[in-house]
Structure formats: C-alpha cells, structure tokens
C-alpha cells in the first residue's frame, strides 16, 4: 500500500475507534475495550525492547506499577493527609470535584511517567549492560523484588493495597471516560513508536538486536540507545499504569501493580503472538490474545490460567514468528521488501540443510 492510502487507513481506524462508544450495542462492553487498549499498550511497549532491540525483558511491569503507585499517591496527597484518606477509604471512597480529580490524575500520571523514566535511566545504565539471558532473568527478579518491596512499604499501603479516588459523577460513566483515556494513550504511543522506528533510532536499536558487538564496533553508543529505548517503554507503561489504577480503583501490590505472573507474562506473549519486532504485530497479538483470554475465561472457568500456560508453550515453540512475522515471511513483497528469488532459493536450501 502506498503513502496516502496507508494514511487514510490509519485515520479511518482511529475514527472508527473513537466512534465505538456511540454504538448502543457496544456500550456495555466499553470497559472491555478499555482493557483491550491497555493490552495493546502492554504489547507495544514491551516490543520496543523485546522485539525491536532483542532485549527480552520480563520486568517491564515495574514501570507499570511505579506509574500506578505514583499516580495514586499524588492523587491522595494532593488533597488529603494520609490519616484522612485512610479513614475515608475505610468506609467509602474519597469524593473529589471533577477539576480536583482531573488535576490529580494528570499530575499523578505525569509524575509517574517522569519517575519511571528516571528509574529506567538509572537501572538501565547498569542492567542493560547485561547480555541476553542474564538480562532476561535479572529483569524477572527485578519485577518480583519490586512487588515484594511494595507489599512491605507502609506509606503506599503495604500488602493491604491502596484505593484510588472515585471518578466524579460529573465526568460521566467509568466506561466512556477510561475508554477514551486509554484510546488516546494507545494512539499516541503507536504514533510515537512508529515515528521512532522509522528514523535513526529504529535503525540503531535494530542494529543492536542483530549484532550488538558489531554495532558497538561501528561506533554506535549502544548503551545510550538501549537506555533511551527503555525510558520510552517505561514512560508509556507508567502512563498506562497510572490510568489503570484509577480504572480498577483498588491497587494490590502483587496482583495489580507488579503483576508479573499475569500482565508481565501477557505482554511478552502478546508481542510474540502478534509478531515481535513488527509495528502492527503487538497490536494484532494483543487483540487476538484479549479475545482468546475472554473465551478461556468464559468456557474454561477455573482452568483458564492452565490454558494460558499451555498457550505460551505452544506459541513460543510452534509459532515464534507470530502472526505478522508469518505473513511477512509468506508475502515479503507486501511488506515492502524486495525479494531476490535466486538468493531466496539458496537461502531456503541452506535453511533446509541446517
């Protein structure tokens, strides 16, 4: 597809997404759709490192949790003292005016995102020096350590969690509000990542994925690029986390904020399912995964998590290319790649020999 046609498609998709809440049949499912945007954000932000840069992180959930807690803490401390809030939260939730609520949410998400970027930069300078599997397992430890730390820290509610303020009635229903919030976040994240991948930055992180030592030798400041990539990923994840805390209202340290075994795993699975290292892969993967998960949840009640574990094994072992990756291998021309048939035949026969 050529430039203008592609642009028209993007615009049409975004407009369609913005119109969904106006369709009466779909209105009861708006929260579901909001979750879908969250899933897409998960997969896209994971793919920055995991797909495009070849650094498979199990610990990106840290930024999600940091953003969530930072937002909730800002919302709490802006208008209440901790004691007041604890009393209010004990009975019913804190009630705010729309302006107060939006200010708190905006400031909270902003500071959460900043904090996440700082953390990514500080941790990244050390952890991103690790290669391959050491990085993967180190980040796995990081995610769980963060959850354990949050469970023990009284200021943020420790193990009993934190309650976020309720959405004021004047701002309408929860459904449309969070639907649009996450939709806007997802669209911005997609646009930013598309722009980044198209430029020098994208080439640099792809070079790191393909051969980091060679990239280093060619004078690429690999650690710098890696850290920036992690900051970008952390920035959007923290924004997502901040809004997500307000969507689910109750923040549990290990089941919601630093939910490694669920969200942390899902983001990897979704990106791989859709095709890691591609622009649309994470989006498609997240959509397919979200639908599959709902089906599992409905028909396999009690066994849905077992089925998810099985799904990870099957996808990783039998379908590591992912949906978009597979399409790309099947019809390379459609993806703007020039195919030299002769060289391809040689390559295929070489692959067969291996």
48 token code pair: 């920055």
Coil, strand or helix at 279: coil
To the nearest whole angstrom, how small is the minimum distance from the Cβ of residue 225 to other proteins?
A: 11
Dihedral angle computed from the Cα positions of residues 310, 313, 315 and 321, in that order, rounded to the nearest 10 degrees: 170
Q: Does 75 contact other proteins by CB under 8 A?
A: no
219 token code pair: 């004078």
The one-character DSSP state at 303 is T
To the nearest whole angstrom, how small is the minimum distance from the Cβ of residue 227 to other proteins?
A: 12
Q: Does 222 contact other proteins by CB under 8 A?
A: yes
Distances from the Cα of 198 to the Cα of 153, 201, 202, 298, 328, angstroms? 42, 8, 6, 40, 18
To the nearest whole angstrom, how small is the minimum distance from the Cβ of residue 295 to other proteins?
A: 17
Q: What are phi and psi of 250, to 5 degrees?
A: -110, 125
Residues 198-217 that bind other proteins (CB under 8 A): 216
Q: Does 223 contact other proteins by CB under 8 A?
A: yes
To the nearest whole angstrom, how small is the minimum distance from the Cβ of residue 121 to other proteins?
A: 15
Q: Does 272 contact other proteins by CB under 8 A?
A: yes
Which residue, 58 or 177, is less far from other proteins as judged by CB? 58
Q: Does 133 contact other proteins by CB under 8 A?
A: yes
Task: Return the range that interacts with other proteins (CB under 8 A); candidates 29-37, 138-146, 203-211, 291-299.
Answer: 138-146
Three-point CA angle 15, 273, 127, nearest 5°: 100
To the nearest whole angstrom, how small is the minimum distance from the Cβ of residue 336 to other proteins?
A: 26
Work out which of 265, 280, 294, 326 binds other proteins, going by CB under 8 A: 265
Query: Would the CA dihedral through 70, 75, 77, 82 be positive or negative?
Result: negative
Three-point CA angle 101, 164, 31, nearest 5°: 85
Q: Which residues contact 36 (CB under 8 A, 6 or more apart)?
A: 286, 287, 290
Query: Would the CA dihedral through 179, 185, 191, 196 be positive or negative?
Result: negative
To the nearest whole angstrom, how small is the minimum distance from the Cβ of residue 282 to other proteins?
A: 16
CA–CA distance, 156 with 68 (Å, rounded to integer): 11
Work out which of 26, 78, 88, 138 binds other proteins, going by CB under 8 A: 138
Task: Return the range that interacts with other proteins (CB under 8 A); candidates 94-102, 132-140, 236-244, 279-287.
Answer: 132-140
57 token code pair: 């992180």
CA–CA distance, 202 with 96 (Å, rounded to integer): 43
Work out which of 19, 122, 126, 329 binds other proteins, going by CB under 8 A: 126
Task: Return the range that interacts with other proteins (CB under 8 A); candidates 77-85, 124-132, 289-297, 339-347.
Answer: 124-132
Work out which of 22, 25, 170, 317 binds other proteins, going by CB under 8 A: 317
Q: Does 153 contact other proteins by CB under 8 A?
A: no
Work out which of 141, 172, 199, 332 binds other proteins, going by CB under 8 A: 141
Q: Does 299 contact other proteins by CB under 8 A?
A: no
Which residue, 219 or 342, is less far from other proteins as judged by CB? 219
Distances from the Cα of 333 to the Cα of 1, 117, 321, 340, 341, angstroms? 11, 38, 17, 11, 11
To the nearest whole angstrom, how small is the minimum distance from the Cβ of residue 144 to other proteins?
A: 5
**Terminal Cα distance for the chain, rounded:** 35
Which residue, 276 or 328, is less far from other proteins as judged by CB? 276
Give the footprint of other proteins on this chain (CB under 8 A). 56, 58, 126-127, 129-130, 132-134, 136-138, 140-142, 144-145, 148-149, 151-152, 216, 219-223, 261, 265, 268, 272, 302-303, 305-306, 308-313, 316-318, 320
């Amino acid at each position: 597809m050529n430039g203008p046609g592609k642009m028209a498609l993007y615009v049409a998709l975004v407009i369609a997404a913005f119109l969904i809440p106006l369709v009466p049949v779909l209105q009861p499912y708006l929260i579901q759709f909001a979750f879908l945007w969250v899933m897409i954000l998960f997969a896209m932000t994971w793919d920055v490192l995991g797909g495009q840069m070849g650094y498979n992180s199990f610990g990106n959930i840290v930024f999600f949790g940091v953003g969530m807690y930072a937002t909730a803490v800002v919302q709490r401390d802006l208008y209440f003292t901790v004691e007041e809030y604890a009393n209010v939260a004990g009975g019913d939730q804190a009630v705010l005016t729309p302006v107060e609520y939006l200010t708190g949410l905006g400031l909270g998400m902003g500071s959460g995102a900043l904090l996440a970027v700082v953390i990514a930069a500080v941790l990244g300078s050390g952890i991103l020096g690790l290669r391959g599997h050491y990085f993967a397992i180190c980040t796995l430890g990081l995610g769980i350590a963060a959850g354990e730390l949050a469970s023990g820290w009284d200021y943020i509610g420790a193990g009993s969690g934190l309650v976020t303020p309720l959405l004021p009635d004047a701002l309408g229903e929860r459904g449309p509000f969070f639907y649009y919030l996450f939709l806007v976040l997802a669209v911005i994240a997609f646009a930013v990542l598309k722009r980044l991948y198209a430029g020098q930055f994208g080439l640099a992180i792809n070079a790191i994925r393909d051969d980091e030592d060679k990239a280093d030798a060619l004078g690429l400041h690999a650690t710098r690029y890696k850290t920036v990539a992690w900051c970008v990923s952390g920035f959007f994840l923290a924004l997502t986390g901040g809004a997500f805390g307000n969507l689910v209202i109750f923040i549990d340290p290990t089941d919601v904020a630093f939910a490694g075994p669920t969200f942390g795993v899902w983001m990897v699975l979704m990106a791989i399912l859709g095709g890691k290292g591609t622009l649309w892969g994470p989006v498609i993967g997240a959509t397919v995964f979200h639908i599959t998960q709902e089906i599992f949840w409905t028909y396999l009640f009690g066994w849905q998590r077992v089925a998810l574990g099985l799904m990870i094994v099957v996808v990783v072992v039998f379908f590591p290319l992912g949906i978009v990756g597979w399409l790309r291998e099947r019809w390379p021309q459609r993806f703007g790649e020039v195919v030299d048939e002769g060289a391809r035949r040689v390559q295929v026969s070489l692959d067969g020999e291996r």
